[in-house]
Amino acid sequence: MIKTKGYAVRNAAEKFIPYHFERRAIGEKDVLIKISYCGVCHSDIHQVRNEWGNSLYPMVPGHEIVGEVKAVGSQVSTFKEGDLAGVGCLVDSCRTCASCQEHLEQFCQEGALLTYNNYERDGKTLIQGGYSDFIVVNEDFCLRISDKLNLARTAPLLCAGITTYSPMKQWNVSKGQKVGVIGLGGLGHMAIKFAVSFGAKVSLFTTSLDKKEDALKLGAAEVIYSKDAEEMQKHVNEFDFILDTVSANHDLNSYLQCLKRDGVMVLVGIPDQATPLFSSNLIIPRRKLVGSLIGGLKETQEMLDYCAEHNIMSDIELIKIQDINTAYERMIKSDVKYRFVIDSASLAD
């Protein structure tokens, strides 16, 4: 067993406290990673506070993990001690179902194992995430990370990166297209970077006009104030692709109207309430509303390699683990540009 130190919450009402636990012993296909950095995803907050109603405690969150390999099992062939490695939202899957065979492990029919807030296959051992100093993961669920990348700024790619990259690749976002991004947060700022890198002309839809300057710096060509119905009306039938990164409750119809014929709007954030949809917005003129969920391991590796090649990383605020409770309060107010990343060295403080 691997002695591990992390930060955990013991129930939905409490704050984070230091927490000592054990990782499983290094199996023959396992990699032991000393965690260098872990991004703080908005879904961490949902789960810590049991907002999805399925939380398991004590909970050590974190699924944007990067670090250095410290040991490998006897049958590991793809990693060796000293390698950089990353772990995203998944740590295992069945490998044999149709989805796994198609490299879409996130849709594993048997249920992929999540990096935290999930049980091991034994149905009783809690899996704990990356707000900690060490993690043990099957090599097939470890990602290679180029040393060209700044390691701290790479952590958020493991969730925010792949969540925005995958639907753009699925729907072939490409040069000359008009792309809209709804919301400028951890996901939204990565979405702008990717869409710009693919050659698209990018517009940010936002309810906070004070984000305009940042959006333009990130490469957006324009910023549309989505609370202004008149301004929205000017953009009807304009976009090939819109990525909706907002997980707060919001109306979809005014954005759907901005799609061209055959345009596609992708949802990646899950609001807790249903949203009213006018069917006519899809039928006339033949638009698509679809979902996307992170990405499989193969595509996550492709995304990391793409980022290394194109120098794409997240914009972050590095924090000590001791500041995690304050960071959560600030995230809820959207007061972060654009991702908190925990410096895991602070666990030794």
Binding residues for a second copy, rule: CB under 8 A, are 99, 104, 107, 252-253, 261, 267-271, 274-293
Distance of CA 293 to the CA centre of its chain: 9
For a second copy, the closer CB: 290 or 345: 290
Dist CA 297 CA 78 (whole Å): 14
- Going by their DSSP bridges, the two strands 339-343 and 30-39 should be labelled as antiparallel
CB-nearer residue toward a second copy: 86 or 295: 295
**At closest approach, how far in Å is the CB of 182 from a second copy?**
12
Closest approach, Cβ 344 to a second copy, in A, equals 30
d(CA 158, CA 300): 7
Residue in the structure block whose two tokens are 């976009």: 239
Minimum CB separation from a second copy for residue 174, in Å?
Answer: 17
Q: Is 317 helix (H, G, I), strand (E, B) or coil?
A: strand
The CA distances from residue 177 to 24, 190, 197, 203, in Å, are 48, 17, 12, 11
Shortest distance, position 92 Cβ to a second copy, whole Å? 18
DSSP 25: P
The Cα 45–Cα 43 span in angstroms is 5
Burial class (CB in 10 A: 0-12, 13-18, 19+), 185: buried
- Which C-beta is closer to a second copy: that of 170 or that of 346? 170
CB 7 to a second copy: min, Å: 28
Judged by beta carbon, residue 118 or residue 281, the one nearer a second copy is: 281
DSSP result, 50-87: TTTS---SSB-----EEEEEEEE-TT--S--TT-EEEE
Q: Which is nearer to a second copy, 149 or 267 (CB)?
A: 267
> Which residue number, 70 or 288, has a Cβ lying nearer to a second copy?
288
Phi-psi region of 94 (alpha: psi -120 to 50; beta: other; left: phi over 0): alpha
Q: Which is nearer to a second copy, 171 or 340 (CB)?
A: 171
Shortest distance in whole angstroms from residue 160 CB to a second copy = 15
Residue 312 CB, shortest distance to a second copy, in Å, is 24
